[in-house]
Structure 1
Amino acid sequence: MAEEGFKRKLTAILSADAVEYSRLMGENEEATVRTLNTYREVFTALIQQHNGKVLDATGDNLLAEFVSVVDAVQCAVAVQKEIKARNDELPENRRMQFRIGINLGDVIQEEGRIYGDGVNIAARLEGLAEPGGICISKTAFDHIESKLPYGYDYLGDQTVKNISKPVGAYRVLMDPRVTVSGKSINIKFPIKRRRSVIVGAVVFLTIVIAVVIWQFNNSRVSTQQRSDDQKAVSISEKSSIAVMPFKNMSGDLEQEFISDGISETIISVLSRMPNLSVVARNSTFFYKDKSVKVTQIGRELGAEFVLEGSFLKSGEQVRINAHLIDAQKGHHMWSETYDRQWTDFLIILDEITLAVARSLTAEIGMTFPYDTATAESTDNVEAWLILQKAHVHFKRFTRKDNAMAILLSKRAIEIDPNYSTAYAYLALNFLYAVRYRWATSPKKSMAQAKETTLKAIELDSSNPVAYTTLGDIQLLQKNYVDAQVAFKKALDSSPSSALTHWYWARYLLFSGQPEEALPTVKASMRLNPHYTWHYPIVSGRIFYHTGRYEEALTEFEKVYELSSKGKGSEYLSNVYLAMTYSKLDRDKEAQYHIEKALEYNPLFNLEARRRASLFKNKEDTDREIDALRKAGAPEQPPPH
């Protein structure tokens, strides 16, 4: 009978022990302690990533527990692969290996510690494991046999110390294999070089993730063709995934743009999947370098699944670690660590992607046409890397960085003249140079923007960045029919992108369809919960032009709050607040915000505002101008 204060529970136990620890200490105590501490940090980090908890780490032993035995085994595999990779960098006589044993059993818990046969069996299984290996009990095997892409060698019933009954034991084979009738069969994956760098290489991974998620929830998504507005409304009905920023494990901030680029590329590819909602980069990167539980991230972002990982490039070696997690339960659906030569990066990523696809599709019992998936890409690593550097400058929104982004995008195109994405971002940078008045010749820059975006579309007729840029160019030139065509193609090409929904909502607003724009802008904000100030500006103007002024005020107050934190335009937030207060007949507040707007932009005047208006219908422009006039906005610019 359990004593008072104790409680029993079923848990997955991981027990680890260093091999030849005494010899290593005898040869060099300081070096051994340093290595042990480093590897203990590896254990701790990976155990936490896999939703486990370290209970004891005395000397060269470690004890941890997991809610899920799937998490425990995936963690053990990740640990052994990580330690092997680190050992490869050490002299052979200084390498420290670990044996790991895993059991699923009943234990007694008292004040953060666990006791009982469940723990003892894990420790005995550890002794049966090979150096660098993993041994699991039959009870653990029964729970993971068809859930993980590993093979298993049955070791038979083992008689172990202080356990009355023999324990069934299995050796875990860490390469992707299948176990058939007790025999483990290696799966050989074909290596095929395609036109791919990170985009092409991750496309299979991202498509399969989308397929996995869709399979789990396909009953919730209609198979009928939806209208554009129905597509926007249906965002909340779809399964959703958040791709978190991959961690840069090198310690070299100069490589940060590579790990960021991996996440951004996966988001871009997944956003093309019609049956999946993909949380926007801006929202997932909100959590960068923050220690937040996956379940909390899923809850805050409205994501059912989370993909997270890490990237390390050291010299000519590259290591990528990735985990697909059920954000509601906190369980790992898939996890793997890859170590390769950087020179073979493209071929190896193809091999990895095929292995991932096969392991995932095997898990859910379906087939997948691995060789038919394609995505716009480049086969030149250098071109991709240079374009990622261009992205870094693009996001800083300064004249100097805009010029550098243009220069780097051109350089990427010089390396690969068929690189559609590079053309699309070059066009976007030309357009921004015009919009933010950085261009020395706006007319020339606008012509260059149009020319390069058409080239991007010629190279890839489904490039969403190119279509949103083209749509924006047409809108600025008040070619509303051509703008509509471009924005629709962007939405069709990337139906799960927050940005394509935002662009479409903005077009509907300016073309005189605010009621139709409302569900679309709401969808864009659901896909990007940590949105930038551009989102509530559009939603606020939509509410304003549908006569819902209180709701418009709420949205513009969000812009004002973001702007006060340096994350928006203080000038525009005051303009829109003045406009809305004026409609609500709150004249003092309207006048106050006009005065504040003039402080931020002394040249603000109604004549310039009317000239710059993008509204198709004059009455929509008048609705804003008349309210601003009532609030006290000047008609003309101040005299020089």
Structure 2
Amino acid sequence: MNTIENITRQTQHKSIAVLPFVNLSSDPDNEYFSDGITEEIINALTTVQGLKVIARTSSFTFKNKNIDIRTIGSQLGVSTVLEGSVRKVKNRVRITAQLINTTDGSHFWSKNFDREMEDIFSLQDEISLLISDQIRENFGHFDIPSHPHNYPTRKIDAYDLFLKGSYHLKRKGYDDVKKSISFFRDAINVDPNYAEAFSMLGEAYIHAAGFGMMSTKEAHELARESAENAIALDAENAYAHKVLAFVKLFYDWDWEAAYDAYNKAIAYGLPEQNEFISYYYIFVEEDYERAIQVARKVTETDPLHVISHWQLGLTYYFARRFKEAIAAFSAALDIDPNFSEAIRYRGLVKGYLGKYQEALSDIHRALELSSGQGLANLDLLVVKILMGKKKEVVAVMEKSEYVDSSDPAILYSLLDMPDEAIFWLKKACQERSVMMVSLKNFWVWDNLRDDPRFKEMYDKMNFPPSVENQCKTDPVTIGQITTTNASLLNESEIRYYLQQLEQLVHEEKIYTDSLLSLRQVADRIGLHPNRLSWLLNDQLHKNFNEYINAFRLETFKVKALDPQNKHITILGLAYESGFNSKTSFNSYFKKMEGITPTAWVKKQEK
């Protein structure tokens, strides 16, 4: 097995999907609360470097569906699944959670939590820490950060409104975006110091611009104000820096400031693979390979989200890799056959490949799904231009009205009508159309590139030099694991702590404690849990449970062969040896011995 395959295998083991927690409250409208708790736990787990965490959108695909955990694990490519429930009654909340091994469907950890609502944030941290510990103890080393208990708000009413706003924003419908803005504003009215509410309000404004609820200028200025308010309250609010990055890129055209805001967002916890950086690599750096790499990574952590595959299709489209774009858009449509954006883009790409009838079929289907609204109308005209029907297109354009002036500019450029194209492009510039960022490399502008008027506008955009489509070389990463083997301990420390560990095991027989955890052992020998985890995995080539269960297994064998224990059941002996469940005992025994415990005992009696 080569290095890349080995890292891929390790990543699959150290991976989790958090399924939507079931709302057990008497009020079905509390769905927003159980969804919000689920998302907060996902967000906390994503801060654990080396742990592959499936994104919310793919996990929520299985909401309200009775599907075998092993099937879910296979579809998402994860070793573990967290499922649970939430019951909210007035000011109290009860959360149950259990971790399940997707290989065999066995539960290897479960816990109930009863808290006052005021403790909800520390509870979320506690749950994510316990989950991370359990995955590390069972599947291998990764560092777990210490979660500081920074409460986003002290006012539970504000948090409740925030969760409602987040619930609607994630749905991304027209009415949902309007509701989300209202809820975020209400949350801020309850707590004017609520940084997260300001940052999410900023994102909601950007979505509002996309739906045409407000002008590009109004939406982006409001988004900027919201993000800056969030940063003033919390300088390390990753979401706010992400919102600013979008404003700087698509509205200010300040490339350096956009990238700086993005880097701050990453430093403060935003996942490195995201849509902003793929847009930046495409439009600003013209680094198509890098953009494609990012988009591919997103499909790994969000494999069942239609937008992930659509986004990958866009990167192929702008890179003019049309056949691969069709495959990505088709993958999106396998998930949602009625996703009109993927259908219209697939039709557009087919048009550029000269497959005109297939292109028209897709675009007409997209128009049918969108009731004749949206950019599929623009795509239809592009395909007709490619088919040579220029007079027909011009006739339609002369009767049309446009929300974004870049739309007719694109069409007139493709028609090779530079005067009309420049007229509309200047208007688009004045309107600060988001498509102005595409001037550098989008081929639809190729007919204008030698025009002095285009060059004047282009120069004012002050684009940085391209990277000539060369992907910048980074350390090879698979998921979130980097191929580095940095030692966390020197040689003398390794010898010392291994000796301390051996003493605990052989002299105190700590493995007989069925509730023993890596953190407890680390505390006993005076070593940070992250370092003990590294020591076991790097030096002994075992995760914590493999190491401890090996001693439990040998202890069981001795007990099982002792005539004085004839009156004790096999499971009773397993419990005395330190195993804490029938499933974990039987699974580990069969894995190590190749037969069941009962068959092994009978074999020894012969």
Q: Which residues of 2 match residues 460-475 of structure 1 at below 5 A? A: 460-475=234-249
Q: 1:413 matched to which residue of 2? A: 188
> Is the counterpart of residue 548 in structure 1 residue 321 in structure 2?
yes
Large movers: runs of 4+ above 6 Å: 361-372
Q: Which residues of 2 match residues 423-502 of structure 1 at below 5 A? A: 423-439=198-214, 442-477=216-251, 478-494=253-269, 496=271, 500-502=273-275
Report if aligned partners of 1:376, 1:460 keep a CA contact under 8 Å in 2.
no
Report if aligned partners of 1:575, 1:597 keep a CA contact under 8 Å in 2.
yes
SS of equivalent residue, structure 1 residue 318: strand
1:287 CA drift (Å): 0.9
Q: Distance in 2 between matches of 1:404 and 1:303?
A: 34
Q: Which residues of 2 match residues 51-450 of structure 1 at below 5 A? A: 239-340=14-115, 342=116, 345-346=119-120, 349=123, 356=130, 373-375=148-150, 377-439=152-214, 442-450=216-224
SS of equivalent residue, structure 2 residue 442: helix
Q: Distance in 1 between matches of 2:132 and 2:72?
A: 28
Q: Distance in 1 between matches of 2:131 and 2:288?
A: 43
More off after superposition, 257-266 vs 606-615: 606-615
Aligned residues: 388
- Deviation string 1:1-56 (CA, Å, 9 cap, x unpaired) is xxxxxxxxxxxxxxxxxxxxxxxxxxxxxxxxxxxxxxxxxxxxxxxxxxxxxxxx
- Deviation string 1:308-333 (CA, Å, 9 cap, x unpaired) is 11111234543211112333343333
Q: 2:305 matched to which residue of 1? A: 531
SS of equivalent residue, structure 1 residue 466: helix
Pick closer, same or farther for the CA change 1:539–1:603 going to 2, 3 Å.
Answer: closer
More strand by share: 1
Report if aligned partners of 1:540, 1:553 keep a CA contact under 8 Å in 2.
yes
1:615 CA drift (Å): 6.4
Equivalent AA in structure 2 for residue 537 of structure 1 = W
Q: Distance in 1 between matches of 2:211 and 2:162?
A: 22
1:263 CA drift (Å): 0.5
Equivalent AA in structure 2 for residue 622 of structure 1 = W
Unpaired segments ≥5 residues, structure 2: 383-404, 411-427, 448-606
Pick closer, same or farther for the CA change 1:544–1:408 going to 2, 3 Å.
Answer: closer
Which structure has the higher relative contact order (CA within 8 Å, separation 6+)?
2
TM-score (normalizing by structure 2): 0.56
Q: 1:636 matched to which residue of 2? A: none
- Deviation string 1:342-389 (CA, Å, 9 cap, x unpaired) is 466459838966995999699789999997634562222211111011
Q: Distance in 2 between matches of 1:353 and 1:624?
A: 52
Report if aligned partners of 1:324, 1:335 keep a CA contact under 8 Å in 2.
yes
1:243 CA drift (Å): 1.1
Pick closer, same or farther for the CA change 1:334–1:496 going to 2, 3 Å.
Answer: farther
> Is the counterpart of residue 618 in structure 1 residue 449 in structure 2?
no
Pick closer, same or farther for the CA change 1:465–1:376 going to 2, 3 Å.
Answer: farther
1:289 CA drift (Å): 1.5
Pick closer, same or farther for the CA change 1:418–1:273 going to 2, 3 Å.
Answer: farther
Unpaired segments ≥5 residues, structure 1: 1-218, 222-232, 627-640
Pick closer, same or farther for the CA change 1:480–1:317 going to 2, 3 Å.
Answer: closer
More helix by share: 2
Equivalent AA in structure 2 for residue 311 of structure 1 = V
Pick closer, same or farther for the CA change 1:614–1:375 going to 2, 3 Å.
Answer: farther
> Is the counterpart of residue 503 in structure 1 residue 276 in structure 2?
yes
Q: Distance in 2 between matches of 1:396 and 1:347?
A: 24
Q: 1:30 matched to which residue of 2? A: none
Q: Distance in 2 between matches of 1:376 and 1:316?
A: 17
Percent identity reads 26
Pick closer, same or farther for the CA change 1:345–1:463 going to 2, 3 Å.
Answer: closer
Pick closer, same or farther for the CA change 1:325–1:406 going to 2, 3 Å.
Answer: same
Pick closer, same or farther for the CA change 1:487–1:247 going to 2, 3 Å.
Answer: same
Q: Distance in 2 between matches of 1:483 and 1:362?
A: 36
SS of equivalent residue, structure 1 residue 313: strand
Report if aligned partners of 1:463, 1:493 keep a CA contact under 8 Å in 2.
yes
Pick closer, same or farther for the CA change 1:255–1:620 going to 2, 3 Å.
Answer: same
Q: Distance in 1 between matches of 2:281 and 2:289?
A: 9
Q: Distance in 2 between matches of 1:351 and 1:236?
A: 23
- Deviation string 1:393-441 (CA, Å, 9 cap, x unpaired) is 32343444333322221221222222221111111111111121112x5
Pick closer, same or farther for the CA change 1:330–1:358 going to 2, 3 Å.
Answer: closer
> Is the counterpart of residue 585 in structure 1 residue 406 in structure 2?
no
1:260 CA drift (Å): 0.8
Pick closer, same or farther for the CA change 1:444–1:355 going to 2, 3 Å.
Answer: closer
Equivalent AA in structure 1 for residue 441 of structure 2 = D
Q: Distance in 2 between matches of 1:427 and 1:421?
A: 10
1:252 CA drift (Å): 2.3
Q: 1:13 matched to which residue of 2? A: none
Q: Distance in 2 between matches of 1:407 and 1:348?
A: 27
- Deviation string 1:151-197 (CA, Å, 9 cap, x unpaired) is xxxxxxxxxxxxxxxxxxxxxxxxxxxxxxxxxxxxxxxxxxxxxxx
1:578 CA drift (Å): 3.6
Pick closer, same or farther for the CA change 1:335–1:452 going to 2, 3 Å.
Answer: same
Report if aligned partners of 1:272, 1:493 keep a CA contact under 8 Å in 2.
no
